């Protein structure tokens, strides 16, 4: 054997024995386990970049495909750039998990990905002053920007002064934001009338609406004005994500800065909020509110489980609004009633630290066909709180 043949054979042996990095596997397998004794019908699973970055480098992140083992069915996925740096940080998909059960999946770069049947959506809406609106296949919301505030300050009837959250009651699974706003350009008030897809009868005004925040101190609720700026991070199909920043605002001697990171997943009636509140001095609380409108509805709260709701009549139907927050974060709640307009509210006082304060807020409408009664809405919130307390576990094989 020549020296060159010997060295070539030695190099090859070292490569096989790990002398050079092995090629990344072209298929990764993992299990998603539900440790809770209730089913999870639309669970969003997040796979962090560190788990699939080597595979993505080989096949391209945009080509990654999640398949359910056994059926080999490809699932709808979403690459999420959660910090806006131009590089995806998470790979999202949704699955239904049985109670106390699990499902196995593979991740590879082979095969086409299916088109989504439904989607989330979010955008800034300059054609209606400057709302920011977001939706999924079950619910829709909006809140109000700086131009609406400026018009209000000028006493223009088109102005709105509110950092509360508005509910758009939809009863179709397809997106309605663009359609309703587009129609309202030609026909003022278009979306305040139900033409079969839903409508906006929900009044926010100076209240917190459905999940707006503030600080409760000395028997008074202090709140910000309209959002000052926005940043859209994702529009779907599985999760919409955006951020709203507010001008510094005073609260009982504190000057508060605030930013909200807001996300909505497909299949959920509740928006997720991360509220970043800061002040040079320690804040007494972060208060989350639900308006009680004309106080014609009923409040129910379960602090130990972490859910709170209001159920009220709306025209010829009924609406439930609700907040879910980790019980450890809850200090107390107030069923606050007053003759002052828009100030009767269910107020949940949460611990302001550690930041951010994380909570979920949303609604269920009887005409959507999703909920028939207050008990249905209570059961949904209770089950949501249980799932929040016991997230699924991803185990790589």
Q: What is the CATH number of the domain that holds 379?
A: 2.70.98
In a domain, 11, yes or no: no
Q: Are 280 and 217 in a shared domain?
A: yes
Instruction: Give the end-to-end CA distance of the chain in Å, rounded to a whole number.
Output: 43
In a domain, 2, yes or no: no
How far CA 347 is from CA of 177, 301, 305, 343, 354, in Å, comes to 29, 11, 16, 10, 20
Point out the domain boundary residue: 82, 111, 140.
111
Point out the domain boundary residue: 71, 92, 111.
111
Cα 87 vs. chain centroid, distance in angstroms? 21
Q: Are 349 and 367 in a shared domain?
A: yes
Which residues have CB under 8 Å from 339's CB, separation 6+? Answer: none
Q: Where are the alpha helices (DSSP H) in the chain?
A: 3-16, 49-59, 146-153, 177-186, 374-389
Q: Are 170 and 301 in a shared domain?
A: yes
The neighbouring-strand residues paired with 28 are: 107
Q: Are 170 and 318 in a shared domain?
A: yes
Q: Are 180 and 317 in a shared domain?
A: yes
In a domain, 8, yes or no: no
Q: What does the block give as tokens for 56?
A: 């993505």
- Category of 205 on φ-ψ map: left (φ > 0), alpha (ψ -120 to 50) or beta: left
Point out the domain boundary residue: 92, 111, 130.
111
- pLDDT confidence of residue 4: 35
**204, 81, 234, 215: which is closest to 131 by C-alpha?**
204
In a domain, 19, yes or no: no
- pLDDT confidence of residue 24: 58
- pLDDT confidence of residue 10: 36
In a domain, 10, yes or no: no
- pLDDT confidence of residue 389: 97
Instruction: Quote the CA–CA distance of 257 and 279 in Å, as a whole number.
Output: 7
Domain that includes residue 78, residue range: 26-111
Instruction: Quote the CA–CA distance of 203 and 302 in Å, as a whole number.
Output: 25
CB-CB neighbours of 220 under 10 Å: 11
In a domain, 16, yes or no: no
- pLDDT confidence of residue 72: 87
Q: Are 166 and 293 in a shared domain?
A: yes
- pLDDT confidence of residue 111: 75
Q: Are 361 and 279 in a shared domain?
A: yes
Question: DSSP letter at 389?
Answer: H
In a domain, 6, yes or no: no
Q: Are 72 and 140 in a shared domain?
A: no
CATH number of the domain that residue 50 is part of: 2.60.40.1180
Q: Are 89 and 208 in a shared domain?
A: no
- pLDDT confidence of residue 23: 60
Which residues have CB under 8 Å from 227's CB, separation 6+? Answer: 132, 143, 144, 145, 146, 163, 244, 245, 246, 260
Q: Are 72 and 217 in a shared domain?
A: no
How many domains is the chain built from? 2
Q: Are 295 and 184 in a shared domain?
A: yes
Per-residue pLDDT of the chain (397 residues; tens, 9 = 90+): 433 333 333 333 333 444 555 565 689 999 999 999 999 999 999 999 999 999 999 999 999 999 999 898 999 999 999 999 999 999 999 999 999 999 999 999 977 889 999 999 999 999 989 999 999 999 999 999 999 999 999 999 999 999 999 999 999 999 999 999 999 999 989 999 999 999 999 999 999 999 999 999 999 999 999 999 999 999 999 999 999 999 999 998 899 999 999 999 999 999 999 999 999 999 999 999 999 999 999 999 999 999 999 999 999 999 999 999 999 999 999 999 999 999 999 999 999 999 999 999 999 999 999 999 999 999 999 999 999 999 999 999 9
In a domain, 321, yes or no: yes
Q: Are 169 and 51 in a shared domain?
A: no
């Amino acid at each position: 054997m020549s020296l060159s043949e010997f060295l070539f054979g030695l190099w090859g042996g070292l490569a096989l024995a790990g002398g050079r990095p092995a090629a990344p596997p072209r298929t990764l397998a993992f299990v998603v386990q539900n440790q809770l004794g209730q089913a999870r019908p639309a669970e969003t699973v997040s796979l962090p970049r560190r788990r699939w970055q080597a595979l993505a480098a080989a096949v391209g992140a945009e080509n990654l495909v999640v398949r359910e083992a056994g059926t080999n069915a490809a699932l709808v996925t979403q690459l999420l750039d959660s910090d806006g740096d131009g590089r995806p940080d998470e790979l999202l998909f949704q699955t239904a998990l049985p109670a106390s059960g699990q499902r196995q999946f593979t991740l590879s770069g082979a095969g086409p990905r299916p088109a989504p049947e439904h989607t989330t959506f979010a955008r800034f809406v300059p054609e209606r002053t400057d709302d920011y609106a977001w939706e999924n296949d079950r619910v829709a919301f909006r809140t109000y920007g700086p131009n609406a505030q400026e018009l209000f300050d000028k006493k223009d009837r088109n102005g709105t002064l509110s950092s509360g959250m508005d509910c758009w009651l939809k009863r179709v699974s397809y997106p309605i934001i663009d359609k309703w706003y587009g129609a309202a350009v030609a026909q003022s008030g278009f979306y305040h009338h139900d033409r079969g897809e839903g409508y906006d009868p929900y009044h926010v005004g100076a209240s917190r609406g459905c999940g707006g925040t503030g600080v409760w101190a000395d028997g008074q609720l202090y709140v910000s004005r309209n959002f000052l700026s926005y940043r859209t991070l994702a529009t779907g199909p599985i999760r919409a994500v955006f951020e709203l920043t507010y001008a510094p605002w005073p609260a009982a001697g504190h000057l508060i800065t605030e930013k909200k990171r807001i996300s909505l997943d497909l299949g959920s009636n509740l928006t997720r909020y991360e509220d970043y509140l800061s002040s040079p001095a320690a804040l007494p609380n972060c208060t989350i509110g639900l308006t009680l409108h004309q106080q014609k509805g009923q409040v129910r709260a379960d602090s130990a489980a972490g859910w709170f709701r209001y159920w009220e009549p709306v025209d010829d139907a009924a609406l439930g609004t609700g907040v879910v927050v980790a019980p450890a974060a809850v200090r107390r709640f107030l069923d606050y009633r007053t003759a002052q307009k828009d100030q009767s509210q269910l107020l949940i006082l949460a611990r302001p630290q550690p930041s951010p304060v994380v909570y979920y807020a949303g609604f269920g409408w009887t005409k959507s066909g999703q909920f028939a009664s207050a008990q249905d809405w209570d059961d949904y919130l209770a089950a949501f709180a249980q799932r929040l307390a016991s997230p699924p576990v991803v185990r790589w094989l």
